């Protein structure tokens, strides 16, 4: 058996704590960035789903268009893109960047 088995010294404990803090300092921002990107991907899926629904409503002739605002800050507008009608959704993502996603549809 060892002669001195009293555990760790204060210097060893503090140095290991500093190493753990440095590792956490490097990993935490990367982890938060990954979480933020995952939320943005989920938001993109929701936007694509809403855009598809709006296109189907217009193709079926179910509604006359007027600009719609949703409570989540999303706005649906109708525009002309390259001579064709398009439905566009304007929204802010989780990084507070304003984005616009459009889909062109053709009337018969």
Examine the pLDDT at 15 and tell me if it is beyond 60.
yes
In a domain, 1, yes or no: no
Asked whether residue 85 is assigned to any structural domain, the reply reads yes
Give the 3-state secondary structure of residue 99: strand
Q: Is residue 76 part of a domain?
A: yes
What percent of the chain has a predicted confidence (pLDDT) above 70?
Answer: 84
pTM of the model: 0.68
Q: How many domains does the chain have?
A: 1
The pLDDT value given to residue 108: 55
DSSP line for 20-80: HHHHHHHHHHHHHHHHHHHHHHHHHHHHHHHHHHHHHHHHHT------EE-TTS-EEEEEE
The answer to the question of residue 3 being in a domain is no
Task: Return contacts of 15-23, CB within 8 angstroms, 24+ apart.
Answer: none
Place of tokens 């300092």: 25
The answer to whether residue 37 sits within a structural domain is yes
Instruction: Answer yes or no: are the C-beta atoms of 71 and 49 closer than 8 Å.
Output: no
- The answer as to whether 101 is a domain residue is yes
Average pLDDT on 11-23 reads 94
Establish if 4 belongs to a structural domain: no
**Mean of pLDDT over the chain:** 84
Residue 88 falls inside a structural domain: yes
Is the confidence at residue 71, as pLDDT, over 70? no
How far apart (Å, rounded) are the C-alpha atoms in residues 20 and 9?
17
User: Domain span at residue 94?
Assistant: 10-105
Q: Read off the pLDDT band of 103 (50, 70, 90).
A: confident
């Amino acid at each position: 058996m060892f002669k001195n088995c009293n555990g760790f010294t204060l210097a060893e404990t503090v140095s290991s704590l500093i190493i753990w803090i440095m590792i956490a300092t490097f990993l935490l921002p990367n982890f938060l960035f990954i979480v933020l990107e995952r939320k943005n991907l989920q938001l993109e899926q929701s936007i694509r789903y809403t855009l598809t629904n709006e296109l189907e409503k217009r193709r079926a002739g179910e509604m006359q268009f007027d600009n719609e605002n949703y409570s989540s800050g999303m706005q649906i507008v109708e525009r002309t893109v390259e001579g064709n009608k398009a439905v566009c959704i304007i929204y802010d993502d989780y990084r507070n960047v304003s984005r616009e996603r459009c889909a062109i549809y053709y009337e018969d």
